Amino acid sequence: MLQSKSFVKKTKQGRVVKVVREHYLRDDIYCGAPSCKVCDTSASRLSNSASTILIVDTNVVLHQIDLLENPAIDDVVVLSVVLEEVRNKNLSVFNRLKALCTNSLRKFFVFSNEHHKDTYVKEMVGESPNDRNDRAIRVAAHWYQSHLGENTQILLITNDRENKRRAVEEGISAETVESYVRSLGKPDLLDLVVLSSSADVNMEDVEDHRPSKKKVIYSEHKPMSEITSGLLCGIYHQGKFRVNRYNPFEAYVGSESIGDEIVIYGRANMNRAFDGDIVAVELLPQDQWHDGKSMIITEDEDDEEEDVHLAPSSADDAPRSVNPVQPTTESVPPVSNRPAGRVVGIIKRNWHSYCGSLEPMPMPAGNAGVAHALFVSKDRRIPKIRIQTRQLENLLDKRIIVAVDSWDCLSRYPSGHYVRTIGQIGDRDTESEVLLIENDINSRPFSTQVLACLPPLPWSLSSEDLANPNREDLRHLRVFSVDPPGCKDIDDALHCKPLGNGNFEVGVHIADVTNFVLPGTPLDEEASQRGTSVYLVERRIDMLPKPLTEDICSLRSDVERLAFSVIWEMTPDAEIVSTRFTKSAIKSCAALSYVEAQARMDDSRLIDPVTTDLRNLNTLAKIMRLRRIKRGALTLASPEVKFQIDTETHDPLDIGMYQIREANQMIEEFMLAANISVAEKILNHFPLCSLLRRHPSPTKEMLEPLLRTAAAIGLDLDVSSSKALADSLDRAVGEDPYFNKLIRILATRCMTQAVYFSSGDLSPSEFYHYGLAALLYTHFTSPIRRYADVIVHRLLAAALGIAKLPPIFQDGPQLTGIADNLNYRHRNAQMASRASVELHTLIYFRKRPTDTEARIVKIKSNGFIVFVPKFGIEGPVYLVPKGNNGSDWVVDEAHQRVTKVGTNIRYNILQTVKIHMEVVEPQPNRPKLQLTLI
């Protein structure tokens, strides 16, 4: 049907310039009720037996989205006028509403009332847009009622008194959210209802016992018009508000207008901004640009003490505070040259829902079962949130999700409402879910649309695959893989063949994932969104569905698989003579573990072909590695913890450091080489749209903690280049064997992580990978578990002329968006892994108090931070009991040591100490790991 004859044409009129737009009204829009006798019911979404159909207004959607998301609410008609208003007012709520409307399990139907000939309303003279939209909602409700007849009740849900009154006048049933939820007879649903602000005032009285606090706590936010003009004339600066992960009283606003980060110290200056909000900031006078330490002490909030956590593996994990020790003698805070500011207004809120638990509190007496409680988010960057609940007793020992509703300047804390319960605090499954939610990781099963993209199982190599002229048959080669034990998603394999001329042919074969994941399919979209597989201690959340990761793409032994191969000819000195790339078919002859491979190489009696290949590869890898280190690549170290997990209870049985063997390094070396070769090839063909990976050089400021430690122990580190740093790290040898490793660990945690980017966004000099000392780098070798590699596979295939480049690569901003998402997902996956290890460490020590050795890595005024090499964790050891300020310990900043006054007892940085580790519960249901000196 090219043109519907039933069109009626109306025009809307604009303001200053007369804009005439066509607005077509139609008679082919259906009501969505399956029982309807008039409409085409093939696309209906409401339930068959719906006796009540709800129509919601815009404010109900904006404020009660958590309630709408609850499965108890169904058979909802969302009018397009509501949809449009929500889209304009709050994009994140709009996206949630959209997800509801497209979720096949929910019965939400979108009715295009604005394009229906019977429900379109024209704005009347003198009518405000809001009134017009309210009227449109009532007209649509009326249409529904008369369209569906008496058997179905149409219920308009609105909290707007005037709208409700008019609706009733016009003969439409209407109720407020609260009265409707009450009529459902599910008391716990009431917790989800956001109460109107009038109820808020009563709440304040109940909750705030301290009379002195009944005053304005925060300064009023400036009105939007003032902010806009302030931004224009440069008094205010706009930027994203980011709270220090390790110090919730310190935040940064990256400002383009002053080209620097503005630091914001303390809750008063932060003025109710949340992490991620877009805020307007005013600079403080320069004499107030001191470091925030003194202000934190005056903060009368309960002091945030440091927890035992996993040792950071990069600067992104570590606290950002530059100056951990405040000289005690100094009374005037030193003036710093970092601009400090305060938030004057919030341009865009980043409120969403948060995971955490309620602050322990006694059960209140009476009050009709309604209790006011404070919610503490697991994410320390989020302030406590006040909520009202009727099920306090139930919630106290639970992990729950809470959403923020408002924060006025009279309240110390924002107020919010309960969304749902995850489970018991401390329970492994609950806590695992919490860390997934916190890190925005999608662990839902793959949808049917995604699974429909998989090839039929069982899959096997077909004759068509082999007949493809672009695919080389390499099944005759002796290909094998080396991976961690128990690895099921094998994405790389190798071969090494001596050539007649004394050279070697070395091949790296990577699972040909893009043969199955085609651009633009639901499978591809899902993988692109997930970005990476996530590895938790006890489970793995896949980027691609299991049949692909563990079977079709996994390069298991003795099965024929499709691969994308990089094949070099190398001299015995590991010089690359030639490089070629091809899609291939391979058949791996052995899937070895690192231990097995290592054992084979070490056992001199073995002379079988695979072992010989391994030894040849290892020889080449050693040369390549040496050359790389000579070039200035850093051998960095980060403690990696490994758990042995009980197969039935999934509880950790043993914990220890992951051992790096020569075999690991050998595989790593060839993967690096393959990635570099591919990076060169794709950049050569697509200089503007290649996805590469860069590692920015650390700044002097970032290396500061390392340099201070080194200075204290008399170690001379040259950080002028990665080469210089690598050399001085090599020279740093202490009396004990672990010293060098420790220094490397400290160096590693000063660096930021490498990031993905699109080559069109930066200049070639910025492509540099500092850690690897490589001019170019990308990710090609793990397409099963990283989406970046999938993109790179497509780029390489297009560069070889065997596939078309998907259109997305011509869209610069979209490509940048993909790279940003990959970095975000990557980062979150790492944080989730770390959180999972921390969780299991806690579970492990719960039953096993342990004595062990630790190294002091940071000196504090009341103790020090130790690093426990054996378990990869670090945490505080207190010399003074908490709350005791009259300390008799003195910190020596220059030598990084703390001495007890009048005695010889002192602790130096990097010193070895014996500690006791034990799980304690200072508050019920809040277990934590405690370190004490013995």
**Interface contacts to Zn ion, rule CB under 5 A:** 31, 36, 38-39
Q: Distance between CA 784 and CA 343 in Å, rounded? A: 44
- Give yes or no for residue 19 binding another protein (CB under 8 A): yes
- Does 13 sit near another protein (CB under 8 A)? no
Nearest distance in Å: CB 53, Zn ion: 11
Q: Give the shortest CB-57-to-Zn ion separation in angstroms.
A: 22
Task: Report 28-87 residues binding another protein (CB under 8 A).
Answer: 80, 83
Smallest separation (angstroms) from Zn ion to the CB of 366:
50
Smaller CB distance to Zn ion: residue 31 or 837?
31
Q: Which is nearer to Zn ion, 48 or 932 (CB)?
A: 48
| Interaction between residue 9 and another protein (CB under 8 A) | yes
3-state secondary structure of 866: strand
Q: What is the DSSP string of 687-741?
A: TTT-EEEEBPPPPHHHHHHHHHHHHHTT-----SSHHHHHHHHHH---SSTTHHH
802 touching another protein, by CB under 8 A = no
23 binds, among Zn ion, another protein, none (CB under 5 to 8 A by kind): another protein
What's 299-310 look like in SS3? CCCCCCCCCCEE
Residue 368 within binding range of another protein, rule CB under 8 A: no
Q: Could you tell which of another protein, Zn ion, none binds residue 804, using a CB distance below 5 to 8 A set by kind? A: another protein
How far apart are CB 147 and Zn ion at their closest, in Å? 5
CB of 138 to Zn ion, least distance (A): 19
Residue 303: what are its φ and ψ, rounded to 5°? -70, 135
Q: What is the DSSP letter of 550?
A: I
Cβ proximity to another protein, 115 vs 309, nearer residue: 115
Distance CA 822, CA 694 (A): 13
Query: What phi-psi label fits residue 828: left (phi over 0), alpha (psi between -120 and 50 degrees) or beta?
Result: alpha
Integer Cα distance of 835 and 535 in angstroms: 11
Q: SS3 of 594, please?
A: helix
Chain residues 92-151 in contact with another protein, contact rule CB under 8 A: 98, 101-102, 110, 112, 114-115
Please identify, among the stretches 18-26, 129-137, 293-301, 679-687, the one whose residues bind another protein according to the rule CB under 8 A: 18-26
Q: Which is nearer to another protein, 98 or 420 (CB)?
A: 98
As a whole number of angstroms, the distance between CA 514 and CA 509 comes to 14
7 contacts which partner out of another protein, Zn ion, none, CB within 5 to 8 A by kind? another protein
CB of 119 to another protein, least distance (A): 12
| CA–CA distance, 316 with 749 (Å, rounded to integer) | 8
Is 12 or 848 the residue whose CB approaches another protein more closely? 12
Distance, CA of 102 to CA of 109 (rounded, Å): 9
Measured from the CB atom, is 348 or 804 closer to another protein?
A: 804
Q: Which stretch binds another protein (CB under 8 A): 19-27, 315-323, 790-798, 896-904?
A: 19-27
The entry of another protein, Zn ion, none that residue 622 binds, CB within 5 to 8 Å by partner kind: none
The nearer residue to another protein, 20 or 901, going by C-beta atoms, is 20
Rule CB under 8 A: is residue 2 a binding residue for another protein?
yes
As measured in angstroms, the least distance from the Cβ of 771 to another protein is: 38
Nearest distance in Å: CB 454, another protein: 23
E runs forming strands in 809-872: 850-860, 863-868
Contact between 299 and 256 (Cβ < 8 Å): no
Contact flag: residue 320 with another protein (CB under 8 A): no
Question: Taking a C-beta distance cutoff of 8 angstroms, is the pair 328, 893 a contact?
Answer: no
- Which of the listed partners (Zn ion, another protein, none) does 36 bind, with a CB threshold of 5 to 8 Å by partner kind? Zn ion
Give the DSSP letter string of 127-189. Answer: --HHHHHHHHHHHHHHHHHHHH-TTSEEEEE---HHHHHHHHHTT-EEE-HHHHHHHHT-GGG
Q: Which of 186, 348, 630, 804 binds another protein (CB under 8 A)?
A: 804
| Nearer Cβ to another protein (24/824) | 24
Contact partner, 1, from Zn ion, another protein, none, Cβ < 5-8 Å per class: another protein
**Considering beta carbons, is residue 90 or 152 the nearer one to Zn ion?**
152
Question: In whole angstroms, how far apart are CA 262 and each of 174, 250, 828?
Answer: 50, 11, 25
Q: Based on CB atoms, which residue is closest to Zn ion, 146 or 470?
A: 146
Distance between CA 328 and CA 201 in Å, rounded? 44
ω into 458 cis (within 30 of 0): yes
Nearer to Zn ion, 36 or 713 (CB): 36
Number of residues that bind another protein (CB under 8 A): 28
Contact partner at residue 884 from Zn ion, another protein, none, CB < 5 to 8 Å by partner kind: none
Question: Residue 735, CB half-sphere, CA atoms under 13 Å: how many?
Answer: 4
Place of tokens 């309303």: 121
Residue 449, interface with another protein (CB under 8 A)? Answer: no
Q: Which one, 38 or 297, has the nearer CB to Zn ion?
A: 38
Nearest-CA neighbor of 919 among 532, 390, 426, 286?
426
Let me know: does 780 contact 507? Beta carbons within 8 Å: no
Q: Is 739 exposed, middle or buried (0-12, 13-18, 19+ CB in 10 A)?
A: middle
| Residue 108: CB minimum distance to Zn ion, A | 17
Q: Are 70 and 54 in contact (CB under 8 A)?
A: no
Binder of residue 31, out of another protein, Zn ion, none (CB less than 5 to 8 A by kind): Zn ion
Q: Residue 190 burial (CB < 10 Å; 0-12/13-18/19+)?
A: buried
User: Phi and psi for 765 in degrees, rounded to 5?
Assistant: -65, -20
Residue 98 binds which one of another protein, Zn ion, none, with CB within 5 to 8 A depending on kind? another protein
User: What contacts 823, CB < 8 A, 6 or more positions away?
Assistant: 755, 756
Q: Is 26 in the site for another protein (CB under 8 A)?
A: yes
23 binds another protein (CB under 8 A): yes
Q: Could you tell me if 444 and 568 are in contact, meaning their C-beta atoms sit under 8 angstroms apart?
A: no
DSSP letter assigned to residue 559: S
Q: Residue 119 Cβ, how far from Zn ion at the closest point, in Å? A: 12
Task: Kindly state the smallest distance separating residue 111's Cβ from another protein, in Å.
Answer: 8
Whose Cβ is closer to another protein: residue 334's or residue 817's? 817
617, containing H or E segment: helix 609-631
Select the residue interacting with another protein from 48, 130, 394, 810 (CB under 8 A).
810
Q: How far is the CB of 249 from another protein (least distance, A)?
A: 40
Contact positions with another protein (CB under 8 A) in 378-397: none
The residue (of 19 and 733) whose beta carbon lies closer to another protein is 19
Q: How far is the CB of 22 from another protein (least distance, A)?
A: 5
Q: How far is the CB of 804 from another protein (least distance, A)?
A: 7
> Taking CB within 5 to 8 Å according to partner kind, which of Zn ion, another protein, none is near residue 25?
another protein
The distance of closest approach from Cβ of residue 778 to another protein in the complex, given in angstroms and rounded to an integer, is 24
Strand, coil or helix: 261: strand
- For residue 18, the partner it binds in another protein, Zn ion, none, with Cβ less than 5 to 8 A by kind, is another protein
| CB proximity list for 757: less than 8 A, separation 6 or greater | 691, 692, 693, 694, 816, 819
Nearest CA-CA partner of 343 in 427, 444, 425, 236: 236
Give the binding site for another protein (CB under 8 A).
1-4, 7, 9, 17-26, 80, 83, 98, 101-102, 110, 112, 114-115, 804, 807, 810
